[in-house]
Amino acid sequence: MPEGKAHPTAQHVRFSLSAKILLWFCANLLVLALVAFAIARVQLRFGLDSLLAGRAGERVQSIAELIILQTQNQPRSQWNAALEHFTQNGQLRVALVENNGTLMAGSIPDLPEEVRSKLREGRPPERPHPGPNGQPDRPRPRPEGEPPPPRDEQGRPPRERQERPPHGPRAEDAEPRDPAGPRTQPPQIPPGNFQKFILRAGEPLEYWIGARIPVSAGPNRPPMPATLLVVAPSLGSGGLLFEFTPWVAGAIGVLVCSLLFWIPLVRGITGSLRQMNNAATRIAEGQFNTHLDTSRSDELGQLSASLNHMSVRLQEFVTGQKRFLGDIAHEIGSPLARMEMALAVLEQRGDERQRSYVEDVREEVRHMSNLLGELLSFTKAELRAVTLHPVLLTDLVERILHTEAPPPAVVTTQIAPDACAQADTDLLARALGNLVRNAVRYAGHAGPITVSATREKNILVLRVTDSGPGVPEPSLPRLFEPFYRPEAARTRETGGTGLGLAIVKSCVEACGGTVHARNRPGGGLEVSIVLQPGDPGSKA
């Protein structure tokens, strides 16, 4: 592949300014989200206990206080049902355990070793009993092979049964004499700010949240230390550690508020730029009467004012140029007319040899006269005052074909009888006449020529199509420029003066329309004139 040429399949992706601003806004939100995620990861790296410093710790504290209140007035056989209420529809597992790892109630039968170690950190040290001499009685080492002392189902050594005194039973074992009398209630356990911890353990890894709480040990007994364990498979399980809904709602709220602040600014900027782009396109096409709104007080308003000033200056330059060309053509017309009269006199008085030279000069003078006539038509199309009115197309096209396409040219029409355009009759006739003349001259031998008119939404489209060789694609944008022709040589044998299509454009634009040309897929050239439709009933 030659250097400097792009691959034919490579396409440069273009984004509108609105899309770029929207992408930049999304990238900004993404950066903020990544920063928040990085901060959360760094916070978790320093320790999971930081999760319990906010709302999660308050929720664990609330659950612990509710469990204390529900268990202190219920027998232990009903504690499982009380804990089941806090499982959040099976998303969490809740249990009460002693600090030695013994399960008191709940649905966690096996504790990981990491959790057991954490529980042992909360056990108070065992104080030795005093000996006979008042000193602490050190535990006697158990001989090898001697079985360990018995313990009850909760891992505690059984208390020795005390013999009843001879005078009767103990006070704690005595039944109240009045069955209807007041029953003994367990002491009320005031809630407090419990010590909490969190760690990841188990297989698979889960979050174990613990709160060291006092639980009821029975009537007339002080509360015993225990640990409330809550197991969550993930940070969002049950909304205990992390509630995604408020964060998602907050993110959506931030996004909506940001869009409400950004959209007016973006729409104002892109709307002004879109208007300027359309205005610049119309100015480039020769519509110098384009005017932009200059109410903005920023740089875009200044740019609009500059474009308005530029269009006015270009209108003055182009109008002056066309007026100059018209004046020159008019001034040269008189000498050319006198030259033709002199050549006629010479032809009558000269001999046979001189007449051939006179005929050559007369042919050049006629060519110059035609060129001046085209220049006058080109300049008058925009300099004259134009009044638009409904023009019935069937009569106009029939008159043009009678003049510009005599036999053997074959021209077919596809125009509704009531088709009507808002235009100037003379200018529209001049434009259609030039198009038909060009089609007959360059493509009359290749097949029929078609003149059609169709109503499309709020516009009327006149088309002149042929079956000739068409026009090279690079030449299509310049086809309506003055003195431009696709042929390399500009002679009388290859065509006219190069002003025919430029006159078509001037006449159509003076009627408030546009003209376009394209090559047909099956071969040939199609020229379309777009005008505003007229009302046949109001035809003057």
pLDDT in tens, 437-473: 889 888 888 888 999 999 988 899 999 999 888 888 8
Confidence at residue 193, expressed as pLDDT on a 0 to 100 scale? 74
Cβ neighbors of 490 (< 8 A, separation 6 or more) are 498
Residue 201: inside a domain: no
In the listed set 336, 364, 383, which residue is the last one of a domain according to the structure? 383
At residue 55, does pLDDT exceed 90? no
Average pLDDT, stretch 151-176? Answer: 48
Closest of 536, 511, 519 to residue 455, by C-alpha? 536
> For the domain that residue 435 is a member of, what is the CATH number?
3.30.565.10
482 and 392 inside one domain: yes
Alpha-carbon torsion 52, 54, 55, 61, what sign? positive
> For the domain that residue 350 is a member of, what is the CATH number?
1.10.287.130
367 and 481 inside one domain: no
105 burial class (0-12, 13-18, 19+ CB within 10 angstroms)? Answer: buried
Average pLDDT, stretch 116-135? Answer: 62
Residue 139: inside a domain: no
Distance CA 315, CA 518 (A): 28
Residue 512: inside a domain: yes
Confidence at residue 535, expressed as pLDDT on a 0 to 100 scale? 82
Average pLDDT, stretch 373-383? Answer: 69
Average pLDDT, stretch 119-145? Answer: 56
Average pLDDT, stretch 526-532? Answer: 94
365 and 453 inside one domain: no
Residue pointed to by tokens 């009460």:
96
Average pLDDT, the chain: 76
3-state SS of 416-454 is: CCCCEEEECHHHHHHHHHHHHHHHHHHHCCCCCEEEEEE
At residue 519, does pLDDT exceed 90? yes
358 and 480 inside one domain: no
Confidence at residue 477, expressed as pLDDT on a 0 to 100 scale? 85
298 and 354 inside one domain: yes
Average pLDDT, stretch 227-237? Answer: 82
Query: Which of 193-207, 369-383, 523-537 shows the lowest mean pLDDT across its residues?
Result: 369-383
At residue 171, does pLDDT exceed 50? no
- One DSSP character per residue, 167-196 reads T---TTTPPPS-TTSPPPPPPP------EE
399 and 517 inside one domain: yes
358 and 440 inside one domain: no
Closest of 429, 65, 72, 12 to residue 217, by C-alpha? 72
Residue 379: inside a domain: yes
The pTM is what?
0.48
Residue 325: inside a domain: yes
Confidence at residue 489, expressed as pLDDT on a 0 to 100 scale? 41
The residue ranking higher by pLDDT, 378 or 69, is 69
331 and 422 inside one domain: no
495 and 417 inside one domain: yes
**Do residues 18 and 25 make contact, with C-beta atoms less than 8 angstroms apart?**
no
Confidence at residue 421, expressed as pLDDT on a 0 to 100 scale? 93
By residue range, what is the domain housing residue 462?
Answer: 385-538
- 265's enclosing H/E stretch is helix 244-284
Instruction: Count up the domains in the chain and report the number.
Output: 2
At residue 492, does pLDDT exceed 90? no
In the listed set 358, 383, 408, which residue is the last one of a domain according to the structure? 383
Confidence at residue 173, expressed as pLDDT on a 0 to 100 scale? 44
Average pLDDT, stretch 138-161? Answer: 54
342 and 467 inside one domain: no
**Do residues 213 and 192 make contact, with C-beta atoms less than 8 angstroms apart?**
no
Query: pLDDT, tens digit, for every residue of 76-106?
Result: 888 888 888 777 667 788 888 888 888 888 8
In the listed set 383, 413, 441, which residue is the last one of a domain according to the structure? 383
Confidence at residue 161, expressed as pLDDT on a 0 to 100 scale? 44
Confidence at residue 454, expressed as pLDDT on a 0 to 100 scale? 92
Average pLDDT, stretch 21-40? Answer: 77
Average pLDDT, stretch 238-252? Answer: 71
418 and 476 inside one domain: yes
